[in-house]
Structure 1
């Protein structure tokens, strides 16, 4: 089970009029990547140096909403109504993947690139320049999904939180209340979820969902290079730094 942390220092990283609800961190540079609503019906991709708070708008990516990090290759993927873009954080180069007719709702990388299409909310995998359904999720609508450290799948939709063991194909309902709005895996493979009343974690032993942070209005989550939780709400992005216990 993941260690429990109860007391944190709240560190505001940035304040935005329209905060993002999907976040990713490049662990090599410890930079936060996200897309935010410009207020002009378009999402703008950006990066934020966590330690210096330097904010940079990324050009060449059109209206990207979803985001994922490839930690092994220092690459960030952006997805939206124009498909999927791959941005290399070291070389500052951008490439659009050769996939057509995709409107991306959610992105995640686990060896291969996975995504949820909109408006069908069906899950797919992109590999070898081809797109195919995720077999274990093909019978379900999926708002978001992640893999834990053991390659089990967890996903959320309008009915609740579900889990699928890596060698199984049937989803098990884990919790239907509260309603979970977003999810993320930390650096150790522990699954975190946010609801209107706080942030939860899934125990790997008995698959029990337990609240670990009392904070309201969370839209998106990720973790920095030191496994500190970063979240966004309606007006800012915040990092939680644990208070040492002696």
Structure 2
């Protein structure tokens, strides 16, 4: 991010997803024919597991999860093997996220955005109008969702509030300084937080 340098990662076909195990410093890459791990020494993608599976998305929280395409089923790796997550067998899953602190479980598909109540084994509808493109947490543990209507943040007891009114963005993440990184069809954009706000406004903005 600092140097703005980039390179293609050879050895993976149809790559479209990434998950990072920060504890073990493993970088997982999803391709159209399985899951790969990025090799820091060779700077290539080495095959990992799930040969022949088309990987829609990857997520890591103590375990590695992946969503398969086109059936949109959620899988988890346990003891070196992957299996469909039983609690989500009856759902299509396009986006999936487990929060860092409270371990709340969120997922989204074509019908809306949901929160899974693990204690009651119940799915609660958060919004059945928006299309969620990505779910991410910032460095403070605040939850953001990137949607077709803009970016929303979870204000806990107040629910989700829109904080960025852009409709052509497809992903969101955060750098080490907690600045927002978003992307559209052609660009990767960093939004730097400021406490001065826009002219004529008193509140803080990106």
Scaled to the shorter chain, the TM-score interval is: 0.7 to 0.9
1:231 to 2:192 alignment: no
Q: Does 1:151 align with 2:103?
A: yes
Q: How does 1:126-165 map to 2 (within 5 A)?
A: 126-149=77-100, 150-165=102-117
- Matched residues, number: 196
Q: Would the alpha carbon gap of residues 90 and 74 (structure 1) be closer, same or farther in structure 2, given more than 3 Å must change? A: farther
- If asked which structure has higher relative contact order (CA below 8 Å, sep 6+), I would say 1
Specify the alignment match of 2:47 in structure 1.
96
Quick check: 1:193 aligned with 2:136? no
Q: Which moved more, 1:95-104 or 1:135-144?
A: 95-104
- SS of corresponding position for 2:87: helix
CA distance in 2, matches of 1:89, 1:216: 36
Q: Secondary structure at the match of 1:136?
A: helix
So what's the TM-score if we normalise by structure 1?
0.73
Counterpart in 1 of 2:200?
Answer: none
1:240 aligns with 2:166: no
Q: Distance in 1 between matches of 2:193 and 2:8?
A: 30
Q: Which runs of 5+ in 1 are unaligned?
A: 1-49
Post-superposition CA distance 1:99-147 (Å, at most 9, x none): 2331110110001100111111110102322111223322211111111
Matched residue SS, 2:97: strand
Q: Is the 8 A contact 2:95 2:132 kept in 1?
A: no
Q: Relative to 1, partners in 2 of residues 1:90 and 1:185: Cα closer, same or farther, differing over 3 Å?
A: farther
In the alignment, what sits opposite 1:216? Answer: 167
- Match of 1:118? 69
TM-score by length of 2: 0.86
Distance 1:183 1:155 in 2: 8
CA deviation map 1:172-202 (0-9, x unaligned) = 0011123322222223332211222310012
Q: Cα offset for 1:88?
A: 4.3
The reply to whether residue 84 of structure 1 matches residue 35 of structure 2 is yes
* 1:172 aligned onto 2:124: yes
Q: Provide closer, same or farther for how the CA distance between residues 238 and 78 of structure 1 changes in structure 2, counting only shifts above 3 A.
A: same
